[in-house]
Protein backbone atom coordinates (compact mmCIF):
# COMPACT_ATOMS: atom_id res chain seq x y z
CA UNK A 1 0.00 0.00 0.00
CA UNK A 2 1.26 3.45 -0.85
CA UNK A 3 0.33 4.88 2.56
CA UNK A 4 -2.10 3.22 4.91
CA UNK A 5 -4.96 5.30 6.26
CA UNK A 6 -3.70 4.69 9.78
CA UNK A 7 -0.22 5.95 8.85
CA UNK A 8 -1.69 8.96 7.05
CA UNK A 9 -3.72 9.97 10.11
CA UNK A 10 -0.70 9.48 12.39
CA UNK A 11 1.64 11.42 10.10
CA UNK A 12 -0.79 14.36 9.96
CA UNK A 13 -1.90 14.30 13.61
CA UNK A 14 -0.38 17.74 14.22
CA UNK A 15 -2.43 19.25 11.36
CA UNK A 16 -5.84 17.75 12.17
CA UNK A 17 -7.47 15.11 14.34
CA UNK A 18 -9.05 11.91 13.09
CA UNK A 19 -12.40 13.39 14.14
CA UNK A 20 -11.80 16.41 11.89
CA UNK A 21 -10.79 14.13 9.02
CA UNK A 22 -13.92 12.03 9.52
CA UNK A 23 -16.05 15.18 9.33
CA UNK A 24 -14.31 16.23 6.09
CA UNK A 25 -15.26 12.94 4.45
CA UNK A 26 -18.71 13.00 6.05
CA UNK A 27 -18.44 9.85 8.14
CA UNK A 28 -18.51 8.85 11.79
CA UNK A 29 -15.11 8.97 13.58
CA UNK A 30 -15.66 5.49 15.02
CA UNK A 31 -16.41 4.13 11.56
CA UNK A 32 -13.23 5.80 10.23
CA UNK A 33 -11.21 4.20 13.01
CA UNK A 34 -12.57 0.76 12.12
CA UNK A 35 -11.68 1.32 8.46
CA UNK A 36 -8.14 2.36 9.39
CA UNK A 37 -7.60 -0.91 11.28
CA UNK A 38 -9.29 -3.06 8.64
CA UNK A 39 -12.17 -4.04 10.91
CA UNK A 40 -14.68 -2.75 8.32
CA UNK A 41 -14.47 -2.60 4.53
CA UNK A 42 -15.55 0.85 3.31
CA UNK A 43 -17.82 1.40 0.35
CA UNK A 44 -16.06 2.18 -2.90
CA UNK A 45 -17.48 5.72 -2.78
CA UNK A 46 -16.08 6.33 0.72
CA UNK A 47 -12.72 4.80 -0.19
CA UNK A 48 -12.52 7.14 -3.20
CA UNK A 49 -13.46 10.08 -0.97
CA UNK A 50 -10.61 9.13 1.38
CA UNK A 51 -8.20 9.00 -1.58
CA UNK A 52 -9.33 12.42 -2.74
CA UNK A 53 -9.09 13.95 0.75
CA UNK A 54 -5.58 12.52 1.27
CA UNK A 55 -4.37 13.91 -2.08
CA UNK A 56 -3.81 10.38 -3.38
CA UNK A 57 -1.57 9.34 -0.49
CA UNK A 58 -4.07 6.60 0.40
CA UNK A 59 -5.15 4.75 -2.74
CA UNK A 60 -8.79 3.61 -2.62
CA UNK A 61 -8.35 0.11 -4.03
CA UNK A 62 -5.33 -0.56 -1.80
CA UNK A 63 -7.35 0.53 1.23
CA UNK A 64 -10.19 -1.82 0.27
CA UNK A 65 -7.75 -4.66 -0.40
CA UNK A 66 -6.11 -4.12 3.02
CA UNK A 67 -9.49 -4.24 4.77
CA UNK A 68 -10.50 -7.34 2.82
CA UNK A 69 -7.23 -9.09 3.75
CA UNK A 70 -7.74 -8.28 7.44
CA UNK A 71 -11.30 -9.63 7.25
CA UNK A 72 -10.14 -12.86 5.60
CA UNK A 73 -7.46 -13.35 8.25
CA UNK A 74 -10.03 -12.77 10.98
CA UNK A 75 -12.38 -15.31 9.40
CA UNK A 76 -9.58 -17.89 9.00
CA UNK A 77 -8.56 -17.45 12.65
CA UNK A 78 -12.10 -18.06 13.87
CA UNK A 79 -12.35 -21.43 12.08
CA 7 distance to own-chain centroid: 10
DSSP class per residue in 45-76: HHHHHHHHHTTTSS-HHHHHHHHHHHHHHHHH
Task: Give the chain's residues under pLDDT 70.
Answer: 1
Residue 1 has a pLDDT of 55
Q: What pTM value is reported for the model?
A: 0.92
Amino acid sequence: MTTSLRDYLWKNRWRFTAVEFARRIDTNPTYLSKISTGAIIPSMALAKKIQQETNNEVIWHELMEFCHTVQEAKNDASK
